């Protein structure tokens, strides 16, 4: 060939320094290495005389990050991206768990707007919070969860630290487990919220699963759950959903909660609650906190992660908390000090805006009552949609299949019992976007779309194996 392009990797004589390679200051041609001036950077290919041949210069940029592979898309958040790209007018997004109005629009609670107006009127500053967060927030959030008159609060046995919503609070607790309970295992329900496993993997905390969902009944595998908790190594952390289990919407009964507490006490396990839907599931703050309060009343040490994304609609404010109930006030003080130590290099201190909203709403009797009414409204809308979906399925499905399991579930999610292939048919044929495990978010459904969704479910269930 009359012209040649020599690459550094193919030329034994081209010994390049890493500095020169990354700076793009190397010219390769006919096996000779020549540097060029900065003025030549705009002319990456140049003719030069070299033994009668034409040499071409090329900038070589080798990334230090070549070994990093592309991460897979998030299975839940990826659903929304696919939904946005779909142009069909019948499309439904039942993937992400965020409340929508009957017009399927995002909703900002009126009580939140009032709380924000109060903040503006007071001219509150934006200085850094302490590592543990806003004191007023920590106080009301513990009282909301356990009840203001609970002995664990009066005896100061709770270490409460404001976290970055539920995810950040869980992650902080996972770091505490990894550092102070080395080798301890966390038991997670099968199935569970998609991010639980990521959190413990990232914190290098070992985990295994306990049986929870029974596909035959589309209900709770209570016997399997109890057996697996009994079989776990003594002193394991048992991750429990306080209410409105995600993704199934299936909760234990009060009697079953008592038996779960019995087994955990017998095995000297540590209960670890994830409470993301207090007040949003049933419409009652007290009813949705009953499971956590049951364990606390037994004098058990436990961890509880909280989130205000759903019940106050503060999704993007990232507002939550980690609570650790200890056997004494002294132990709680020491635990809190270590949670702060763990938080400091992670994110230094939490955001103030959402914390002030919660403190204003929960701490003001008038706003608090208004909030409870709005929660009842939101929970009521989802209950109404759940009932209408059941009625539509029962009317359209002539096979005699019992769809009543949908009414036994609670919260914004419903496990339809559809498998992966059937869920894909929902999307590909019916433009219904959902996770591949058959979970749908009823918060993204309205009464007008219930019959269309029922048609899609019936078709997918009976015509796709």
User: Hey, which residues are catalytic here?
Assistant: 193, 274, 310
Taking the C-alpha atoms of residue 170 and residue 342, their distance in angstroms, rounded to an integer, is 13
For 352, phi then psi, to 5°, come to -95, -30
Q: Which of 124, 190, 132, 130 minimizes the C-alpha distance to 360?
A: 124
Torsion angle of alpha carbons 381, 386, 387, 393, nearest 10°?
Answer: 150
52-88: burial string, b at 16+ Cβ within 10 Å, e else = eebbbbbebeeeeeeeeeeeeeeebeebbeebeeeee
Which of 196, 302, 293 is closest to 245 using CA atoms?
Answer: 196
- Residues 6+ away with beta carbon under 8 Å from 122: none
Characterize 420-452 residue by residue with b for buried, 16 or more Cβ atoms within 10 angstroms of its Cβ, and e for exposed: eebbebbbeebbbbbbbbbbbbbbbbbeebbbb
Integer-rounded Cα radius of gyration of the chain: 28
Place of tokens 């036994």: 408
Query: Which secondary structure element, helix H or strand E, spans residue 192, and what is its range?
Result: none
Cα–Cα distance measured from residue 111 to residue 114, given in angstroms and rounded to the nearest whole number: 5
In 173-277, beta strands by DSSP E = 186-190, 207-211, 213-214, 219-220, 237-241, 270-275
Question: How many CB atoms within 10 Å of residue 257?
Answer: 17
Yes or no: say if 261 and 294 are a contact pair by the CB < 8 Å rule: yes
């Amino acid at each position: 060939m009359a012209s040649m392009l020599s690459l550094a990797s193919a030329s034994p004589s081209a010994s390049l320094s890493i500095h020169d390679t990354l700076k793009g200051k190397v010219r390769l041609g006919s096996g000779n290495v020549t540097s060029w001036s900065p003025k030549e950077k705009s002319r990456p290919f140049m003719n030069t005389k070299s033994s009668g041949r034409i040499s071409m210069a090329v900038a070589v940029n080798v990334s230090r990050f070549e070994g990093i592979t592309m991460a897979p898309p998030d299975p839940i958040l990826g659903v929304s991206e696919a939904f946005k790209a779909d142009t069909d007018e019948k499309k439904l997004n039942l993937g992400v768990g965020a409340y929508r109005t009957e017009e399927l629009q995002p909703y900002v609670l009126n009580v939140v707007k009032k709380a924000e107006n109060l903040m503006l009127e007071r001219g509150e500053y934006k200085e850094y919070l302490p590592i543990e967060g806003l004191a007023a927030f920590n106080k009301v959030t513990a009282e909301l969860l356990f009840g203001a008159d609970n002995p664990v609060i009066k005896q100061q046995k709770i270490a409460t630290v404001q976290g970055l919503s539920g995810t950040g609070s869980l992650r902080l607790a996972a770091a505490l487990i990894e550092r102070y309970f080395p080798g301890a295992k966390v038991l997670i329900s099968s199935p569970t919220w998609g991010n639980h496993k990521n959190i413990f993997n990232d914190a290098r905390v070992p985990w295994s699963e306990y049986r929870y969902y029974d596909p035959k009944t589309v209900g709770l595998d209570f016997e399997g759950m109890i057996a697996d908790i009994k079989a776990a190594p003594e002193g394991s952390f048992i991750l429990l959903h306080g209410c409105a289990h995600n993704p199934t919407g299936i909760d234990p009964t009060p009697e079953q909660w008592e038996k779960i507490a019995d087994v955990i006490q017998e095995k000297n396990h540590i209960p670890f609650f994830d409470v993301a839907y207090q007040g949003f599931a049933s419409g009652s703050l007290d009813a949705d906190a009953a499971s956590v309060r049951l364990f606390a009343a037994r004098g058990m040490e436990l961890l509880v992660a909280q989130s205000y994304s759903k019940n106050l609609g503060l999704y993007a404010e990232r507002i939550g908390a980690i609570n650790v109930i200890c056997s004494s006030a002294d132990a709680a003080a020491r635990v809190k000090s270590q949670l702060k130590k763990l938080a400091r290099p992670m994110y230094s201190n939490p955001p103030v805006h959402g914390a002030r909203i919660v403190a204003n709403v929960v701490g003001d009797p008038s706003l608090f009552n208004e909030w409870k009414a709005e929660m009842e409204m939101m929970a009521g809308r989802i209950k109404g949609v759940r009932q209408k979906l059941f009625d539509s399925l029962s009317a359209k499905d002539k096979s005699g299949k019992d769809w009543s399991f949908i009414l036994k579930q609670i919260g914004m999610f419903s496990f339809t019992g559809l498998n992966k292939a059937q869920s894909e048919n929902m999307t590909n044929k019916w433009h219904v976007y959902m996770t591949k495990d058959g979970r749908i978010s009823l918060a993204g459904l309205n009464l007008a779309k219930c019959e269309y969704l029922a048609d899609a479910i019936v078709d997918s269930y009976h015509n796709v194996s």
